[in-house]
Amino acid sequence: MDIAVLVKQSLDVQELRVDQDTGKIYIEDAPTKAGDIELNATEEAVRLKEKLGGKAIAIMLSTGGASGKRQKEAREALTRVLAMGLDGAVLIMGEGAEKGDTYVIAKALAEEIRDKFGLVLAAEGSEDNFSGLLPARLAAELGWPYVAYATAIEVEGDHVKVTRSLEDFEEVVRVKFPAVISVTQEINKPRVPKLVEIVKAKKKPLDQKDFSPPVEPKLTIRELKVPKVERKQIVIEGDVEEAAEKLIQALKEEGVL
């Protein structure tokens, strides 16, 4: 049974520049990457594929547009997960994909996944939007059961045992294949690929396809606003004693002590 790992081309939010004065968000300038939690999903796929006796393939439907820069970054992100031990990757890209909401993307991804895979692994949320909607919609589209927030996955015959972490309790559930599971950051420690693995990953099969939206989106982004957070950014100098005193003084003046 083959595993599909959903990898999103996320904006690197750490490097995304926003201007609080003008409200400008420099989306085009920001680099993109595979989300950190998708590396956890990849790690889990690599671990599970031995047990399931199949391949593990990354699937990226890029919503970053089709510019050369985004294309290159998408391939680099896929190279990274391939280097971790996946067997191949599918990259779906194209003009118009940036307007796709999770409804559109789930429909398009389902085409790629139905009949080919028995298990889909995803991140609990993407790095830049963190909604977690996509795997849930995908499961609904495929008609497969969905379990989110996995902190451990064990294969037992024709089903998997998933431990998942919820706010008030921890749950262990048993799910039949085929299934969609989203994982948390705590499920494992993603391996850091070696140089040689990256070199080899560039030779692994990467199948690039054109995206064409199967349906119209249900949601559009009307506006992106920059929240104003003004921080004084005062650095307290001096030795330990002085710094502690200065800090206390400052907090007193702020009226928070």
Partner 1 sequence: MADFDVIVVGAGPAGSVASYLLAKRGHTVLTVERGKRPGAKNMFGGRLYSWSLERIFPEFWKEAPVEREVTKEVLGFLHGERGVEIRLSTRPKGRSFTLLRAKFDQWLAEKAEDAGAEVISGFKVERPLIRDGRVVGIVAEGDEEMEAEVVIAADGALSFMAEKAGLRPKLSKEDFAVGAKEVIELPKEVIEDRFGLSEDEGAAQLYVGDLTEGVIGGGFIYTNKESVSLGVVMRIGSLASKVSEISTAMWEVTEKFKSHPMIRRYLEGGKLVEYSAHIIPETQFMRGVKLYTDGMVVVGDAAGFCVNYGVTVRGMDFAIESARAAAEAVHHALESGDTSARSLSKYQEILSSGMLREFETAKKAVDLMEDERLYSSIPKIAVETLEHLFLVDGKPKENLYSFLRKEFSEEGISLLSALLLGWKALRSM
Partner 2 sequence: MKVLAFSHSMDLALELVSAGRELGDVSLLVTSDQEGRINEVKGAKEVLLCKGLDSGDQEGLVELISGLASDYEVVLLASDRRGRELVGQVAHRLGASSAVDVSSLSVEDGKLVVERMTFGGKAIAVEEMSLPAVISVQKGKFKPPEEGEPSVREVSAPSIERRVEVIERKEKPKVGVPLDKAEIVVAVGRGFRKKEDLKLAYELADVLGGVVGATRPVAADLKWMEEEVWIGISGVRIAPKLLIVVGASGQQQFAAGIMDSKVVVAVNTDSKAPIFEQADYGVVMDLYEFLPVLTKKLKEIKGG
Ligand X SMILES: Cc1cc2nc3c(=O)[nH]c(=O)nc-3n(C[C@H](O)[C@H](O)[C@H](O)COP(=O)(O)OP(=O)(O)OC[C@H]3O[C@@H](n4cnc5c(N)ncnc54)[C@H](O)[C@@H]3O)c2cc1C
Binding stretches for partner 1 (CB under 8 A): 17, 19, 21, 31, 72, 192, 194-196, 198-199, 202
Among 127, 134, 137, 147, binds ligand X (CB under 6 A): 127
Distance of CA 117 to the CA centre of its chain: 19
Please give the residues from 175 up to 214 whose contact with partner 2 meets the rule CB under 8 A: 175-176, 179, 184-186
Per CB under 8 A, 221 contacts partner 2: yes
Stretch that binds partner 2, among 77-85, 112-120, 199-207, 230-238 (CB under 8 A): 230-238
Sequence-separated contacts (24+) of 50-54 with Cβ below 8 Å: 51/155, 52/1, 52/2, 52/3, 52/118, 52/119, 52/155, 53/1, 54/1, 54/2, 54/3, 54/118
Q: Minimum Å distance from CB 55 to partner 2?
A: 24
Query: Binding of ligand X at residue 37 (CB under 6 A)?
Result: yes
Tokens standing for residue 249: 């003084």
Residue 190 contacts ligand X per CB under 6 A: no
Q: Of 49, 79, 128, 201, which lies in the binding site for partner 2, with binding defined by CB under 8 A?
A: 128
Cα–Cα distances in angstroms (integers) from residue 30 to residues 35, 76, 93, in the given order: 14, 15, 18
36 is an interface residue for ligand X by CB under 6 A: yes
Residue 198 touches which member of partner 2, partner 1, ligand X, none, C-beta under 5-8 Å by kind: partner 1
CB 131 within 8 A of CB 137: no
Q: List Cα–Cα distances, 175 to 73, 99, 127, 221, 229, in angstroms.
A: 35, 34, 27, 35, 44
Regarding 125 and contact with ligand X (CB under 6 A), the answer is yes
Taking phi over 0 as left and psi of -120 to 50 as alpha, with beta for the rest, 24 belongs to beta
- β 3-6/119-123 pair status: parallel
Q: Quick one: 39 or 83, whose CB is closer to ligand X?
A: 39
Q: Which of 88, 130, 198, 204 binds partner 2 (CB under 8 A)?
A: 130
Q: What is the distance between the alpha carbons of residues 10 and 61, in angstroms, rounded to a whole number?
A: 11
- The item of partner 2, partner 1, ligand X, none sharing an interface with residue 149, based on CB under 5 to 8 Å by kind, is partner 2
- Pick what 233 binds: partner 1, partner 2, ligand X, none; C-beta below 5 to 8 Å, kind-dependent: partner 2
Among 171, 194, 205, 209, binds partner 2 (CB under 8 A): 171
Tell me: does residue 129 bind ligand X (CB under 6 A): no
